[in-house]
């Protein structure tokens, strides 16, 4: 099949694991972002503030924007994006297997993040 016969659309999967070293700074930055967002209705703003103050994964999700990853890539236009974040158990010594994650088989694309016992945060784009 030639490139002319294939789809012009590409799904890019990116998975990052970040350690939250300073949750107060993370929360503060998320609150600043929420307070400075003129497109966020007042009702949602209050809920967003409450959420980021209790969940570092949500605070991170307010600060990470997949649009920023591709806005300067020549020849592409972002058509659709979704992202989520969740706290995870993370073993730095474990081997990282790239590619399909079997855990994702059971999750719908709009699945809500779940909390784990440690401070690791997974962000999926």
* Strand partners for 85: 123
pLDDT single digits (tens) 14-59:
888 899 999 999 999 999 999 999 999 999 999 999 999 999 999 9
Q: Supply the pTM of this predicted model.
A: 0.66
To the nearest whole percent, how much of the chain has pLDDT over 90? 43
**Residue 81 near residue 67 (C-beta atoms within 8 A):** yes
**Residue 116 near residue 17 (C-beta atoms within 8 A):** no
* Band of residue 114 on the pLDDT scale cut at 50, 70, 90: very low
Strand order in 84-88's β-sheet?
15-19, 120-124, 84-88
- Computed over its alpha carbons, how large is the radius of gyration of the chain? 17
| Three-state DSSP class for residue 10 | coil
What's the confidence (pLDDT) of residue 7?
78
Run of H or E including 105: none
Q: Which residues of 101-117 are buried (b: 16+ CB within 10 A; e: fewer)?
A: eeeeeeeeeeeebeeee
**Residue 26 near residue 123 (C-beta atoms within 8 A):** no
């Amino acid at each position: 099949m030639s490139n002319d016969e294939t789809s012009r659309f590409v799904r890019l999967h990116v998975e990052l694991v970040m350690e939250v070293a300073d949750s107060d700074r993370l929360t503060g930055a998320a609150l600043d972002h929420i307070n400075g967002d003129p497109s966020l209705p007042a009702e949602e703003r209050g809920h967003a503030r409450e959420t980021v103050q209790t969940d570092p994964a949500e605070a991170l999700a307010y600060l990470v924007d997949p649009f920023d990853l591709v806005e300067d890539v020549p020849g592409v236009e972002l058509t659709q994006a979704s992202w989520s974040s969740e706290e995870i158990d993370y073993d730095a010594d474990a081997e990282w297997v790239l590619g399909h994650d079997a855990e994702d088989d059971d999750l719908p694309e709009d699945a809500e993040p779940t909390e784990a016992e440690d401070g690791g945060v997974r962000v999926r784009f």
